[in-house]
Amino acid sequence: MDSVTRLGVVGCGLMGSGIAEVAALGGLDVRVAEATPDAVEAGRRRVTASLDRGVQRGKITEEQRDQARARLSFTHDLSDLSDRQFVVEAVAENREIKTDVLRTLDKAVEDSSAILATNTSSIPVVDLAVATERPGQVIGMHFFNPVPVQRLVELVPALTTSPDTVQRTRDLATQLGKQPIQAPDRSGFVVNALLVPYLLSAVRMVESGGARPQDIDQGMELGCAHPMGPLRLLDLIGLDTAQAVAESMYEEFKEPLYAPPALLRRMVAAGHLGRKNGRGFYAYD
C-alpha cells in the first residue's frame, strides 16, 4: 500500500489545527473540514498563526511555512473529503458528535480502503467503528497537545480493526515525525488512564483548600521537573475537554478517582475553560 499523500482532518480546534499543521509541514496535501464557514475561518487563522509563530521562533523557514499553507485547503462540507486516503477526526470529545462525523465520513469517502481515524481521548474506538460500514478501517489515533511539540501518538486498534489498518496508521504517524505506541481500547488508553487521576487530584486539592494552584504547579514543576504543573496543564488541555474525558473514564470504570470533581464542573459551567478562552485556573491575555 502506498504511503498517504491526501489527508483529511475534521475539526480545527486545538488538536485538529495541530494535526493539520504537522501534516502540511510533513508534505501531505491536507484538507480540513469544520462545521460552519465561521469555524473554518477560525480554524484557518489558528493554523496560520501557529505557522507564523514557528517562523518567529526559528523552527521553520518562511519558505516551509508558505509551502505548508499551499498544501492546506479548508471546507465546511464533509463531502469535500471524498478523495482522501486517510481522515483523522478531531471534533469535540462527545460520543454523539463523533459517531455522527464517522458515519458521514464513511459515506463521503469514496475509496473503500481509506482509513478513518479518531483522535478521541476516551471514547471506546469500537463504538465508533461499528457505526460505520468499514469497522476494519477505523482506528484510534490519539495525538497530544500541543501537537507540533509532543512526539507521542497512541494507536488504538478496536477489536474490529484490521492489522493492515494498524500498520498503515503506524506508518503515517512515523511519516509525521511522531513516535507511536500501541494502547488498549479501554477508556483513557495508556496516557490518560495515568494522567487524569493525577490532574483531578490536583483539582481536589484546590477544592479542599489544601493548596493554592500556583503552589501545586510549582511543586510539580520544580520538585518533579514536569514541564508544567497539573493545573496549568488542565488549562492547556481545556477544562471542558478534561471533564469530558474524565466522564467517559468514570462511565467505563465507575472508579471514584476518575469522577470529575465539583470544582471542575463549576468552572466549566461558568465558562472558565482554560487558555482557549482566556480564563481557567489562571488568567491569560
Q: Indicate the SS3 state at residue 72.
A: strand
Q: How far is the CB of 144 from ligand CAA (least distance, A)?
A: 4
228 belongs to the binding site for ligand CAA (CB under 6 A)? yes
For every residue of 121-138, DSSP letters joined together read SSS-HHHHHTTSS-GGGE
Any bridge partners for residue 274, and if so which?
279
Q: How far is the CB of 83 from ligand CAA (least distance, A)?
A: 29
Query: Quick one: 130 exposed, middle or buried, by C-beta within 10 A (0-12, 13-18, 19+)?
Result: middle
- One of 163, 209, 223, 227 touching ligand CAA (CB under 6 A): 227
145 belongs to the binding site for ligand CAA (CB under 6 A)? yes
CB nearer ligand CAA, residue 134 or residue 232: 232
Residues designated catalytic: 121, 142, 154, 192
Spatial distance between the Cα atoms of 155 and 153, rounded to a whole number of angstroms:
6
CB nearer ligand CAA, residue 118 or residue 192: 192
Binding mask 177-216 for ligand CAA (x = CB under 6 A): ---------------x------------------------
Spatial distance between the Cα atoms of 143 and 137, rounded to a whole number of angstroms:
18
Spatial distance between the Cα atoms of 188 and 186, rounded to a whole number of angstroms:
6
CB nearer ligand CAA, residue 48 or residue 145: 145
Stretch that binds ligand CAA, among 50-58, 62-70, 106-114, 250-258 (CB under 6 A): 50-58
148 belongs to the binding site for ligand CAA (CB under 6 A)? yes
CB nearer ligand CAA, residue 92 or residue 162: 92
Of the candidates 230, 251, 242, 246, the one whose C-alpha atom is nearest the C-alpha of residue 273 is: 242
Q: Indicate the SS3 state at residue 150.
A: coil
- One of 17, 85, 118, 121 touching ligand CAA (CB under 6 A): 121
269 belongs to the binding site for ligand CAA (CB under 6 A)? no
Helix, strand, coil abundance in the chain, percent, nearest 5: 50, 15, 35
Kindly identify the residues of this chain, within the stretch 60-119, that bind ligand CAA according to CB under 6 A: none
CB nearer ligand CAA, residue 81 or residue 244: 244
Question: 168-205 burial, b if ≥16 CB within 10 A, otherwise e?
Answer: bbbebbebbebebbebebebbbbbbbebbbebbebbeb
237 belongs to the binding site for ligand CAA (CB under 6 A)? yes
Q: Is the peptide bond before 146 cis (omega within 30 degrees of 0)?
A: yes
CB nearer ligand CAA, residue 8 or residue 274: 274
Strand 152-157 vs strand 138-143: parallel, antiparallel, or unpaired? antiparallel
47 belongs to the binding site for ligand CAA (CB under 6 A)? no
- One of 144, 250, 258, 281 touching ligand CAA (CB under 6 A): 144
Q: How far is the CB of 192 from ligand CAA (least distance, A)?
A: 5
225 belongs to the binding site for ligand CAA (CB under 6 A)? no
Stretch that binds ligand CAA, among 62-70, 160-168, 227-235, 262-270 (CB under 6 A): 227-235
Q: How far is the CB of 154 from ligand CAA (least distance, A)?
A: 9
Residue with cell 482557549: 276
Query: Quick one: 159 exposed, middle or buried, by C-beta within 10 A (0-12, 13-18, 19+)?
Result: exposed
